[in-house]
Structure 1
Amino acid sequence: MSETSRIDPALLDGNRKQLAGYVATHFKWEVTNAVATITLNRPERKNPLTFESYAELRDLFGQLKYATDVHAIVIVGAGDNFCSGGDVHEIIGPLVKLKAPELLMFTRMTGDLVKAMRACPQPIVAAINGVCAGAGAIIAMASDMRLGTARSKTAFLFNRVGLAGCDMGACAMLPRIVGQGRASELLYTGRSLGGEEGERWGFFNRLCAPEAVLADAQKLAADLAAGPTFANGITKTMLHQEWAMTIEQAIESEAQAQAICMLTEDFTRAYNAFVAKSKPQFEGN
């Protein structure tokens, strides 16, 4: 009996989607072998974000929790840069004219993008070359893994424009990646973090050649997509949820999560492959 024949069609309709064929409006979206690549595609301006691209990214990541045909995600910028942050003319200029309710609408929208990135079960790999600033640095931070280059320049430059460094979860997430003191330095000064320094600090998982960073990120994502994707989603959930748990709570939560993973067919496939001295072919169920 197939999986779909065991499940009420109404339940499937409400909770499973095919997103490989999604047609993006404000960035590029391509899916190959269950790996989606999001390309921020305004290279002439170093790929800045707009109100529209923020909203579309937020909504797309929100839908990815239901996707059955996307198992890992790569985010990259077109050309020689990742993302220069919010567009000065299309976002920053209009913001200075708004009152508090509309400003809160904007800041909640940007925060909801990070929430959606953290809530989607697919691992996200950021391929970062050149400028990675402001909201671009936040998108990189919110990804699960980051591949950089020697020419990467990452800057949380909010204080350079008169704003606090507490933007889109930076004060909560960045210290967990690079440590409290280093995060404080980046958020107070807004200075650029170079590629080699970023790797030493742990912001980058590793450095790649500029011409290879996208291919390396897609290879990493493909390896993840070929793995036990249900279990990978559980790992991502637990990595996020355990920030707010005691050790005792985390151990109990992991016991429950691992017991659920032991019910999957992928767990049985891995055992059978071990016995047969072969490589398991995971299917995500």
Structure 2
Amino acid sequence: MTSTDQQTDYVTEVDGVLQIIIATAANGTSLDFGGINAGTAALRARKNEIGAILLTGSGPNFCAGGNVRGFAAAADRSVHIHEIATDLHEFVRALAASPAPVIAAVQGWAAGAGMSLVCAADIAIGGNSTKLRPAYPGIGLTPDGGMSWTLPRIVGAGRAREILLTDAVLDAEEAARLGILSRVVADEEVRAEADALAKSLAAGPRSAYASIKKLLNQSPTATLSEQLDSERESISTAASTPTGREGVDAFVGKRKPDYSATN
């Protein structure tokens, strides 16, 4: 899809990039379920038609976590949190099921569920003043949004235990060193850098990216021999696709590949 602009309150699709606003300035940049639920619906409806997914907050922070005041005001806190965790987890499942790369523009704080969504991204770009914190132990709660699954796979089991149990605050440098953030740029460049990356990926070889994600997702439970077999099948299949043919022919012809017709 090219030069297309479909706008809702929370979801925008431009040039193959589906941008989803997960938090707004309302309620202190806590998780906004208008954006979460609209994002889930858009991801399911456009699953095989988008080239990249960009997660961002519209306020000073990526996401400050759940609306704790909303927790406190609920008539039944357990029921309330069960309901919103269900919605959040449907969003995380939709992100994981998408063949498109997921990019997070992590400006300011990413706490609680915000940090969970950073961990759910394929690539996370932060700023010099970006900070991440699990935040759950600070209010006597436990993780949601998949953090207890994704964080150990990013930083290792021992480091994940320390971060979660001590409710550690990670600055941008430490988060990048651990691999939670993929890169760090100037604060004022976070959103532009993430947007440029998303557009670049959307214009790239989408079927190859989808297959790369599939290989990476299955690798933790595969043996080396099984993964080698999967890689062989994947690369040989890719070679006969329009995307693979264009990539190889462009290389041989010493020109930039044009994937617009294959995406």
The residue that corresponds to 1:176 in the other structure is 153
Structure 1 counterpart of 2:70, which letter?
A: E
Cα deviation, residue 126, structure 1: 0.6
Report how many aligned residue pairs link the two structures: 261
Q: Structure 2: any 5+ residue segments left out of the alignment? A: none
RMSD: 2.4
The residue that corresponds to 2:8 in the other structure is 24
| 2:122 aligned with 1:144 | yes
Structure 2 counterpart of 1:188, which letter?
A: L
Instruction: Spell out, residue by residue over 1:155-182, the C-alpha distance to the aligned partner (whole angstroms, 9 max, x if none).
Output: 11112221224x2322221112122222
Could you say what secondary structure the match of 1:157 adopts?
coil
Could you say what secondary structure the match of 1:235 adopts?
helix
What is the CA–CA distance in structure 2 between the aligned matches of 1:66 and 1:252, rounded to whole Å?
25
Aligned residue runs from structure 1 range 1-285, under 5 A: 22-25=6-9, 27=10, 29-40=11-22, 42-67=24-49, 70-91=50-71, 93-94=73-74, 96-99=76-79, 104-165=82-143, 167-283=144-260, 284-285=262-263
Cα deviation, residue 271, structure 1: 2.1
Instruction: Spell out, residue by residue over 1:165-224, the C-alpha distance to the aligned partner (whole angstroms, 9 max, x if none).
Output: 4x2322221112122222111111222111111112211111111111111111111221
Check the 8 A contact 1:30/1:36 in 2, yes or no: yes
Could you say what secondary structure the match of 2:37 adopts?
helix
What is the CA–CA distance in structure 1 between the aligned matches of 2:147 and 2:71, rounded to whole Å?
20
Structure 2 counterpart of 1:33, which letter?
A: D
Could you say if the C-alpha distance between residues 200 and 265 of structure 1 is closer, same or farther in structure 2, counting changes exceeding 3 Å? same
What is the CA–CA distance in structure 1 between the aligned matches of 2:216 and 2:190, rounded to whole Å?
25
Instruction: Spell out, residue by residue over 1:112-159, the C-alpha distance to the aligned partner (whole angstroms, 9 max, x if none).
Output: 221111111111111111111111111111011011112111111112
Structure 1 counterpart of 2:191, which letter?
A: L
Could you say if the C-alpha distance between residues 108 and 78 of structure 1 is closer, same or farther in structure 2, counting changes exceeding 3 Å? closer
What is the CA–CA distance in structure 2 between the aligned matches of 1:39 and 1:261, rounded to whole Å?
33
Check the 8 A contact 2:31/2:65 in 1, yes or no: yes
Instruction: Spell out, residue by residue over 1:215-268, the C-alpha distance to the aligned partner (whole angstroms, 9 max, x if none).
Output: 111111122122111111111122112222222222222222222212211211
TM value normalised by structure 2 = 0.89
Cα deviation, residue 95, structure 1: 7.3
Could you say if the C-alpha distance between residues 41 and 203 of structure 1 is closer, same or farther in structure 2, counting changes exceeding 3 Å? closer
